[in-house]
Structure 1
Amino acid sequence: MNFPVFISDPLAILAYPADSSAFYLAVLFSSLLLFYKSKRGQMNVLLFIQSFIFVFLIASFLYEFMEFAWYDNPFSFGYMILLAILLILFLTAQGRLGSHTLISALLIGWSLGIYILMTIQPFVTVFGYMVTPWFVGLFFAVNFTHLILNQRKSGYIERN
């Protein structure tokens, strides 16, 4: 995490490699920033997340393809297939599903796919960062809860 180096010279931190804890911290801070901007009305977070998912899926697919084709990484193949399925789902369902439902479905599908890969492979990486089961479980729980709350608010689920 190298906080002392970051405080003394912020640009020097770019020379230090990061680990998974930095990745998790970045996801947390990004989520908090998006939540804050959404509540203040400063950003259309739904449009941002939908655009981010599209870019993330393509970039991840290309990264995993390079890992598989150029570096002969056999563990990239499963994640590459998962990303291809999610990308096809995103492109075909984009006009048919509501944005909240599509985003939640893709994020839930991603976390379930990663969890399945964790049971098959010894490890799963996202852009070279090793992903742990607690992160995937938390990611799934947050997105599943968001999907249920959004559908309940929209009136899709009837209350007894």
Structure 2
Amino acid sequence: MISAWVLAKMAYNVISIVAGLTFFYVTSQSAKPVKKQQLEESISLIINFILFIWVGKILLNIGIFVTDPLAVLAYPSDSYAFYAAVLLLLVNVVFKVRRKHLNISPLLSALVPIFLGSAFVYEFIDVVVNGNALSWGHLGLLLIVAVMFLAINERKPAVIVAGNVFAIWSAGQFLLTCLLPYSTLYGYIVARWFLIVVFIISVTVLIYNNRKRVRS
């Protein structure tokens, strides 16, 4: 049963990621060479994120992994492995920005629509295939945020767009956790503290950039 569940989840993830990449490619107004470079960098980060989930799962179950590694590898990842992967991905991005002088704006211009497109399709699959009525709330929230993204994407800097998107998404998700038994993201139950952290970071980025624009 677990193996069948894992295979189904992997299929959902692949379909969702492809949908997210397609959403970015269709909505982006950048030239094709630029979009190709953004896609390559985004796919690299997505692969790293998937690997980080496995790393997080191993680190969080290191005692069991030493004695019985297959028991850890065969078991589905939990929310804590997802949180660990998010943290490791942020560290990876910061490292690339600081050490390799990666321009964050083109990266955010790709990652934001990829996130919205992939998350929306994942929730849609969860509703249609699995009949999960609880996913309707997140599905509606993602639709609202996606419409907002399309409205401001070409008129605002990428950092501002990302800050607005994740601030509204995290606030909406937090509200859903108050109305529903739980709220999920890519099949992982999302804790309120995680949403609060995302909201605080997003608002901080918006305030910092607003003050930076005023000073300049």
TM-score (norm 1): 0.87
- Alignment equivalent of 2:210, drawn from 142, 151, 154: 151
Report the secondary structure of 1:139's partner residue: helix
Contact in 1 for aligned 2:120/2:143 (Cα 8 Å):
yes
Shift of residue 11, structure 1, vs aligned partner: 9.9
1:35 aligns with 2:94: yes
- In structure 2, the residue matched to 1:103 is 162
- Alignment equivalent of 1:2, drawn from 36, 58, 69: 58
- Structure 1 runs (4+) greater than 4 angstroms displaced: 5-8, 10-14
Q: Deviations over 1:74-124 (max 9, x none)?
A: 100010001111111111211112222111000101111101111111100
Shift of residue 151, structure 1, vs aligned partner: 1.2
Alignment of 1:44-123 (within 5 A): 44-123=103-182
Alignment of 1:9-20 (within 5 A): 15-20=74-79
Shift of residue 14, structure 1, vs aligned partner: 5.2
In structure 1, distance between residues paired with 2:192 and 2:205: 20
- Alignment equivalent of 1:133, drawn from 174, 186, 192: 192
Q: Which protein has greater RCO, CA pairs closer than 8 Å, 6+ apart?
A: 2
Identity %: 33
Report the secondary structure of 1:84's partner residue: helix
Shift of residue 7, structure 1, vs aligned partner: 7.7
In structure 2, distance between residues paired with 1:16 and 1:50: 34
In structure 2, distance between residues paired with 1:155 and 1:41: 29
C-alpha change, 1:7 and 1:31, in structure 2 (3 Å) is farther
AA at the equivalent of 1:2: I
C-alpha change, 1:81 and 1:39, in structure 2 (3 Å) is same
RMSD over aligned Cα atoms:
2.4
Shift of residue 40, structure 1, vs aligned partner: 2.2
Considering fraction of residues, name the structure with more helix: 2
Question: Structure 2: any 5+ residue segments left out of the alignment?
Answer: 1-56
